[in-house]
Structure 1
Amino acid sequence: MQIREIILTELYTAYEILQHEKEEISYKEFEDLVYEMKKENYKIITLIDDNRATTYAGIKIETNLKYKKHLHIYELISIKDKKNLQYTMEMLSYLIDFAKMNLCKNILFSFNESDSELNLSIIKNGFQKAESLYIKEVK
């Protein structure tokens, strides 16, 4: 297995993984958003197993008053197969090390809590539920 940041010419590989969860986004919209987010130091990290990209992590190191310097994991998506939890946990382990190397104080990560197996694995890795997230669409 290999984990690395992808370059912009490899975006379609990341998009294929993203399609496992966010089917409503077109490639054009995805590409436009990534180019915009890259200006804000957004990175796409992929896990590759047997020459196939299996896991997508969209991350950014941020600093604010509440969490200080922290790694924000915006997306963590694995392809749907028998090894998807293994891929996700391998990526999460990498991201924890990445946060340590970048002197982050915390890691922020939200995910669909209906995935009970992932939920238990996240808790076993020392994550705690901290607060609720509220969203309002601006029209």
Structure 2
Amino acid sequence: MINELHTEDEIKTAYKVIKQLRSHLKEQEYLALVKEAQEKENYKMVALIVENEIIAVIGFQPMITLYYGKFIWVCDLVTDYNHRSLGYGKQLLSYLHQWAKDNDYESIALSSGLQREDAHRFYEEKMNYDKVSYVFKAPL
């Protein structure tokens, strides 16, 4: 089952999976960031649930830029360590592809850390994503 998470309690239940990707975030900081992103950036969080347990989570933002046009930015995508390579990430991205089509978005984009070679293979080989740019970041 795939459900969008809305309430603080629902979002809190996703923390045990999200922290596997965002290990630098403490739970209260995570909750505050999700709430602010939902309010200010239209951030959405969706969970794949198996036997009442969250197995995988995707967080995304519908956006519009001159470069991509109307698109979806994937902010977070993680499957629980104990359930990787079982197709759950593909299910969530496929769900997002359909959500994007249903809501008139043209494409989906994401960034992935340079060291995450397994994830890159997944995006390119399993999901047919193209590598189109580098992402640069500067601390302020």
The normalised TM-score by structure 2 is 0.89
Q: Which runs of 5+ in 2 are unaligned?
A: none
Distance, in Å, in 1 between the alignment partners of 2:63 and 2:17 is: 25
Distance, in Å, in 1 between the alignment partners of 2:2 and 2:112 is: 21
- C-alpha deviation, 1:115, in angstroms: 4.0
The 5-angstrom pairing of residues 99-110 of structure 1 reads 99-110=100-111
Equivalent residue number for residue 22 of structure 2 = 22
Q: Which runs of 5+ in 1 are unaligned?
A: none
Equivalent residue number for residue 135 of structure 1 = 137
For 2:94, what is the secondary structure of its paired residue? helix
Distance, in Å, in 2 between the alignment partners of 1:110 and 1:63 is: 17
The CA RMSD over aligned residues, in Å, is: 1.4
Distance, in Å, in 1 between the alignment partners of 2:76 and 2:22 is: 10
Distance, in Å, in 2 between the alignment partners of 1:113 and 1:54 is: 24
Pair 1:95–1:113, CA change in 2 (3 A): farther
Equivalent residue number for residue 43 of structure 2 = 42
What is the identity, as a one-letter code, of the residue corresponding to 1:71?
I
Runs of 4+ in 1 over 4 A off after TM superposition: none
- C-alpha deviation, 1:112, in angstroms: 3.4
- C-alpha deviation, 1:24, in angstroms: 1.6
- C-alpha deviation, 1:4, in angstroms: 1.1
For 1:72, what is the secondary structure of its paired residue? strand
The 5-angstrom pairing of residues 86-101 of structure 1 reads 86-101=87-102
Distance, in Å, in 2 between the alignment partners of 1:121 and 1:28 is: 31
The normalised TM-score by structure 1 is 0.90
Distance, in Å, in 2 between the alignment partners of 1:65 and 1:7 is: 30
What is the identity, as a one-letter code, of the residue corresponding to 1:123?
E
Give the share of equivalent positions with the same residue, in percent. 24
What is the identity, as a one-letter code, of the residue corresponding to 1:12?
K
For 1:22, what is the secondary structure of its paired residue? coil
What do residues 93-129 of structure 1 show as CA deviations (whole Å, max 9, x unaligned)? 1111111111111111122354444322311322100
Distance, in Å, in 2 between the alignment partners of 1:14 and 1:43 is: 13
* Matched length: 136
Distance, in Å, in 2 between the alignment partners of 1:75 and 1:38 is: 14
Equivalent residue number for residue 126 of structure 1 = 128
